[in-house]
Amino acid sequence: MTIKPGDRLPDATFMTMGAEGPAPVTTQDLCQGKTVALFAVPGAYTPTCSAKHLPGFVEKASQLKAKGVDTIACTSVNDVFVMSAWGKDQNAGEGVLMLADGNGDFAKAVGLTMDGSKFGMGTRSQRYAMIIKDGVVLDLFVEEPGDFKVSSADYLLEKL
């Protein structure tokens, strides 16, 4: 079943690159007492994700934070090393937290997976964005396959 507005995020653990190497970040760590803009991409270094999706959030980070977002986070079914390198390549810096969902556990738990096996990618996350307040989904914007409209930073700015 797909998560929907009003639902609490399921307990899940992402990996992020910390000063000492890979470090876990739970959904509770991510969301407790915060407003979070979480967006998901099918894959790091893929065309739309690298040309539009992540760069839009990097560019608009200060505007999102000015509208009350405490944390902007990007997740993908990639390992922590790939997510860290992609974040560096995209100048995500401190503006966007890169969260590896290496096994796809979070994507499965929120019911937002897609079958990318036709492209040699296996099970991946759908492209979406959500606004979360203290662990509860306020808004969820899931893209139709092949689209990039409702999960963009610009769209979230309009909705906040």
Domains of the chain: 13-159 (3.40.30.10)
End-to-end CA distance of the chain: 26
In the residue annotation, 49 being an active-site residue is answered as: yes
Q: What is the CA radius of gyration of the chain?
A: 14
Could you read off the pLDDT of 34-79 as tens digits, one per residue? 999 999 999 888 877 777 889 999 999 999 999 999 999 999 999 9
Catalytic residue among 36, 40, 49, 112: 49
* Tokens, residue 95: 């503006």
Pick the more confident residue, 121 or 158. Answer: 158
Residue 80 corresponds to which tokens in the numbers above? 């922590």
| Alpha carbon distances (Å) from 58 to 22, 53, 61, 80, 143 | 22, 9, 5, 19, 20
Q: Report the distance separating Cα 90 and Cα 111, nearest Å.
A: 28
- Report the DSSP pairing between strands 128-133 and 35-41: antiparallel
Per residue in 8-43, pLDDT (tens digit) is 999 999 999 998 999 999 999 999 999 999 999 998
